[in-house]
Amino acid sequence: MPSSSAEAGSAQVPDVLTRGVLGALKIYKAVVSPLFTGSCRYLPSCSDYMSEAVERHGAAAGTALGLRRLARCQPLGGCGHDPVPANDPWRALLSRRPQ
Amino acid sequence: MEKNVIIAVILSFLVLYVYQAMFAPKPVPKPKAVQTELAQGSAAPGAGQSATPGAGQPATANAAAAAGADAAAPGLAPAGTVVVSDTEARDVVIDTDMLRAVFSNRGAALTSWQVKRYKDKAGKLVDLVPQTLAGAAKPFQIDTGNAAVDARANSALYRVDGGGAARDPKKGTYQIAFEYRETNGVAVRKHFTVDPRNYTVGAAITAEIAGSPANVAVVMGPGPGDVETSEASQYLMGARAILYRNGKVERHDSSALLSQPVMEGPMRWAGVDDHYFLSTALVGSGAARVEYRPLATQNSQGKPLHTFVGYTFNPTGMGVDTTFFIGPKEFEILKAIDAELVRSIDYGMFAWIVVPLLGALNKINGYIGNFGWSIIALTFLINLAIFPLRHKSVVSMKKMQALQPEIKAIQDRYGKLKATDPGRQKMNTELMELYKQRGVNPASGCVPMLLTMPILFAFYSMLAYSIELRGAPFGLWIKDLSVYDPYYVAPILTGITMLVQQKMTPQTATDPVQQKMFMLMPVIFTVMFLWAPSGLNIYWLFNNLLAIGQQYFTNRLIGPARIPRPAAERRLTKKGDGSV
């Protein structure tokens, strides 16, 4: 078995760090995010994107992906449908976005 | 279920906030202050009750023996005949437009230090030497480690060179020299250089015991004596230790000082501060040992009233030759003394935004002369800077409105689905694709939105912690920009502008929970802003007004939006797909 714990998915209990980041995002979405409803240029929204990325790829790669997305979510960035890469998060991080 | 969770979180936040705002800052009744020395008595020379052992002990003999041993000259009487001193108590007063300082020749110490630009709530000048603490040590008393010598040196009448302060017309400083001498070789000299323009005192102090130089430390009495903060308040913090070492500012409150009163090592500056005032030794690059003495005052019911902190400053070497700053934490003055001294102002994590913000505000105020109008001018400048950004989003918002029928068509098609249904996701994707095809995006993105928060917090810190804005009036009913609007007019107006702004913005949220939250936001914001500094409300109010104005005029000027219809869409319509 390949020992890629981050991508093992639902079978594994997420580690403390992952749960911490997910918890923080949940609080953000409940308390802060309603202030900015409809401000995100993308779908899924930046916070949803980050949650999903962390769930799928673990705290480190997921947070990195989320921050990368956040950096693009400004008037000079792109917009539209932009799903979390299904696998190989680090390569997705390094490559230029295909869109 | 999720809806309930969100509502519960928001409600609990509200309850917490309202509770804090309404019940915490109750004015404390002001009965006669009862002082309790928190630190060990021995650490407070000159505090009156210093070396008083319990009754019934054979104390006198012990004390005399100790004093004799300390004096290191057994043949001499503890108190020698005084050779240099004064016959009567006299005050040396320095009075300028910024400062009124009073040194007494009794102990050659500072008895009053009034900063003339700042008044307390009663309209009296703020005195940074607390006048209510009877018997407390005064700034610039000394500690040589020899209790008997210290007791005399801190209570004797010193001779004043030339009978008073000498003004240096070139530098604008004042020089005072005090001397005290006994036949047994005890001699203390203190030379002060007061610069009233930046609230500094250069202190050169030497002491001799039995004819040889003694290690001498400066005793800075309890401080700062900001009278206003003697009322316990949620918004103003009391005195605490503050020092700068290893490139970092350290703050220790009085409870921490009880367990760890001594700070040692190389330090740039060390002293005590409260919300608006600072008393500190400017060490520069040397090392020093600082011992703190927290002093709590209580009311008659034993409830804590205020905390002062005194400190004993002992630099390396026998004598003392150190400059002290005792004054308001005015940004420009601190910066001119030492750039790192600015960090004594507790702006928090957004200090890097507050500093340029305050710099700009001070500059603008130099022209306008009213901080309220200056805040409005600064808001205008900030909005001018983001004008192009906002223009882009206003234009695409306009296009959005033109697309509304098509958006509604898509929404209706998925209308029956619940928020959790995966089909809903598909609808969002479809909407996004529609926006993208038409080159429309209503949102400026998460980054600009998130950026407004630090700026808002920075404005808050600036208003709440800058002495420049303490008591700064705007006009009419707003007498102090740093505290809340007493009639809540500004926050309510701010809430109304938020509502108007929201009405002008096309709704993009499709989830009903989100839509409800969206509608609730102006209310939540208004409640949060009710007790915020009125200056913050003025900033936010004008920010909203400018945004509304820009949106309104852009819409009037550009007229109806032209949206290109993509080829794919046209083909689709020709086929007669009525649902699009």
Model pLDDT, residue B325: 92
Q: Within an 8 Å CB–CB cutoff, is residue B448 touching chain A?
A: yes
Report the alpha-carbon distance of residue B479 to residue B490 in Å, rounded: 13
When mean pLDDT is compared across A47-51, B300-304, B380-384, B567-571, the lowest value belongs to: B567-571
Q: How confident is the model at residue B472 (pLDDT cuts 50, 70, 90)?
A: confident
Place of tokens 């390949």: A2
The fold of B82-338 is: Beta-galactosidase; Chain A, domain 5 (2.70.98)
Assess whether pLDDT exceeds 50 at residue B259. Answer: yes
Report the alpha-carbon distance of residue B312 to residue B46 in Å, rounded: 12
Assess whether pLDDT exceeds 60 at residue B268. Answer: yes
Report the alpha-carbon distance of residue B168 to residue B60 in Å, rounded: 49
Mutation target among A35, A49, A70 for the B interface, most CBs of B within 10 A: A35
Query: Half-sphere exposure of B114 toward its Cβ, with a 13 Å CA cutoff?
Result: 15
A80 and B435 within 8 Å at the Cβ level: the answer is: yes
The single-letter code of the amino acid at A4 is S
Nearest to B180 by CA among B297, B85, B103: B85
Q: Does residue B394 sit in helix, strand or coil? A: helix
Model pLDDT, residue B13: 56
Query: How many other C-beta atoms can be found within 10 angstroms of the C-beta atom of residue A98?
Result: 5
Judging contacts by C-beta atoms under 8 Å, the chain B residues touching residue A45 are 446
Report the alpha-carbon distance of residue B521 to residue B267 in Å, rounded: 47
Model pLDDT, residue B23: 45
Judging contacts by C-beta atoms under 8 Å, the chain B residues touching residue A80 are 432-433, 435-436
Q: Within an 8 Å CB–CB cutoff, is residue A86 touching chain B?
A: no
The single-letter code of the amino acid at B74 is P
User: pLDDT tens for residues B508-563?
Assistant: 555 666 667 667 778 877 888 887 788 888 888 888 888 888 878 877 777 665 55
More confident residue, B17 or B168: B168
Model pLDDT, residue B509: 54
User: pLDDT tens for residues B120-179?
Assistant: 777 778 888 887 777 788 888 888 888 888 888 888 888 888 777 788 888 888 898 999
The structural domains of chain B, with segments of one domain joined by +, span 82-338, 356-558
Report the alpha-carbon distance of residue B2 to residue B8 in Å, rounded: 10
Mean pLDDT, chain B, rounded, equals 74
Find which of A58-72, B235-249, B481-495 is predicted with most confidence, using mean pLDDT: A58-72
Find, in chain A, the residue whose alpha carbon is nearest to that of B436. A80
B375–chain A nearest CA distance, Å:
24
Assess whether pLDDT exceeds 70 at residue B189. Answer: yes
Find which of A68-72, B12-16, B460-464, B481-485 is predicted with most confidence, using mean pLDDT: A68-72
DSSP 8-state symbol, B108: T
More confident residue, B42 or B86: B86
More confident residue, B222 or B424: B222
* Three-state SS letters, B324-382: EEEEECCHHHHHHHCHHHHHHCCCHHHHHHHHHHHHHHHHHHHHHCCHHHHHHHHHHHH
A79 and B436 within 8 Å at the Cβ level: the answer is: yes
Assess whether pLDDT exceeds 60 at residue B375. Answer: yes
Report the alpha-carbon distance of residue B521 to residue B501 in Å, rounded: 12
Find, in chain A, the residue whose alpha carbon is nearest to that of B435. A80
Query: Which regions of B86-199 does DSSP assign to beta strands (E)?
Result: 91-95, 99-104, 109-119, 125-127, 141-143, 159-160, 166-168, 173-182, 187-195
Q: Within an 8 Å CB–CB cutoff, is residue B529 touching chain A?
A: no
Interface of A with B in 40-59 (CB under 8 A): 40-43, 45-46
Distance of CA B36 to the CA centre of its chain: 27
Report the alpha-carbon distance of residue B368 to residue B387 in Å, rounded: 24
Give φ, ψ of B347 to 5 degrees: -80, -10
**99 residues of chain A, pLDDT tens digit each:** 344 444 444 445 668 888 888 888 887 776 666 656 567 777 777 888 898 889 888 888 889 999 988 888 877 777 777 888 877 778 777 766 544
ipTM of this complex: 0.76
Q: Within an 8 Å CB–CB cutoff, is residue B385 touching chain A?
A: no
CB pairs under 8 A between A and B: 85
Q: Does residue B249 sit in helix, strand or coil? A: strand
The single-letter code of the amino acid at B19 is Y
Assess whether pLDDT exceeds 80 at residue B452. Answer: no
A98–chain B nearest CA distance, Å:
16
Report the alpha-carbon distance of residue B241 to residue B294 in Å, rounded: 9
- DSSP assignment of B435-498 equals HHHTT------HHHHHHHHHHHHHHHHHHHH-GGGTT---BTTB--TTS--TT-HHHHHHHHHH
